[in-house]
Structure 1
Amino acid sequence: MEKLTNKEEEIMHVLWTLTKAFVKEVVAELPMPKPHYNTVSTVIRKMEDKGYVKHEAFGNTHRYYPAISKEEYRKNYFSSATQNYFENSYKNVVSFFAKEEKISADELREIIKLIESKNNQ
């Protein structure tokens, strides 16, 4: 799937939260300054072309909903980032966060326990 832009991701988060929404409802949930209705409508239609969003028609109006779950998107996004920025190595990902002090030793121990418990199943 084609990657979402930052604005598309922002709108996708709103759709995941609302489950189904008309454009005006999406606009209402976006942070200030609010983008124009037509801008959001255009972005959502592009997201539909990319396969991330579907719609139900109500006359001339459409109610949009996610075609991909947040978990599915997260998995695809993280796999792509790992491949593109960390030589496809999860060890490199964890090392990066450790060096940046974004993960504590306690959190790393929890991760190790999780891995070990999965291996023992």
Structure 2
Amino acid sequence: MKLSDAEWTVMNAVWDHSPVSGRDVLEAVEKKTRWAYTTVKSLLARLEEKGAVRMRKRGNTSYFEPAVSRDQARRSAVRSLLEKAFDGAAGSLVQHMLATERLSEKDRRKLAELISDMERESEATR
């Protein structure tokens, strides 16, 4: 599932505050975006069409909740980037990220742990 930058902004509000009304989303994003309420409603409708959110009516108010997890959306976005920009080569993507982005000490430790776990799994399957 492909999400535009605006859709990511709305989805982050939905993931963080679910279930949310259109007004709730507007409150969550208005300082950052200065969007009109109609913009938020249009984005929520588009996200519902894509299957990213589910809408439930309570009285006269529509409430939205995620239909996909944040992790599922991230995996899809990374997979798309991997195919488009790195010809599917995950190692090249990781090397590029490590060469161009600063990692915190915590992130470096976590990455080292992941590599160590992968090496142990690889040795166990030999």
Into which bin does the TM-score normalised by the smaller protein fall? 0.7 to 0.9
Aligned match of 1:37:
37
Cα distance in structure 2, aligned partners of 1:41 and 1:118: 47
Contiguous gaps of at least 5 residues in structure 1? none
Q: How far apart are 1:110 and its partner, in Å?
A: 3.4
Percent of aligned pairs sharing the same letter: 26
Q: Give 2:116's match in structure 1, choosing from 109, 113, 117.
A: 113
Which residue type is aligned with residue 83 of structure 1?
Answer: E
Q: Would the alpha carbon gap of residues 31 and 61 (structure 1) be closer, same or farther in structure 2, given more than 3 Å must change?
A: closer
Q: What is the match of residue 77 of structure 1?
A: 77
Q: TM-score, normalised by structure 2?
A: 0.83
The alignment partner of 2:84 has SS state of helix
1:101–1:5 distance in 2 versus 1, CA, 3 Å: closer
- Structure 1 residues 102 and 93, CA gap change in structure 2 (3 angstroms): farther
Whole-Å separation in 1 of the counterparts to 2:59 and 2:115 = 54
The equivalent of 2:19 in structure 1 is: 20
Structure 2 segments unaligned to the other structure (5+ residues):
none
Which 4+ stretches in 1 moved above 4 angstroms?
none
Q: Which segment drifts farther, 26-35 or 16-25?
A: 26-35
Number of residues of Structure 1 aligned to a counterpart in Structure 2: 120
SS, match of residue 64 in structure 2: strand
What residue is the counterpart of 1:60 in the other structure?
A: 60
Alignment RMSD (CA, Å): 2.3
DSSP-derived class of the 1:62 partner: strand
Structure 1 17/84 Cα, relative in aligned 2: closer, same or farther at 3 Å? same
**Greater share of helix:** 2
- The residue identity in structure 1 corresponding to 2:119 is E
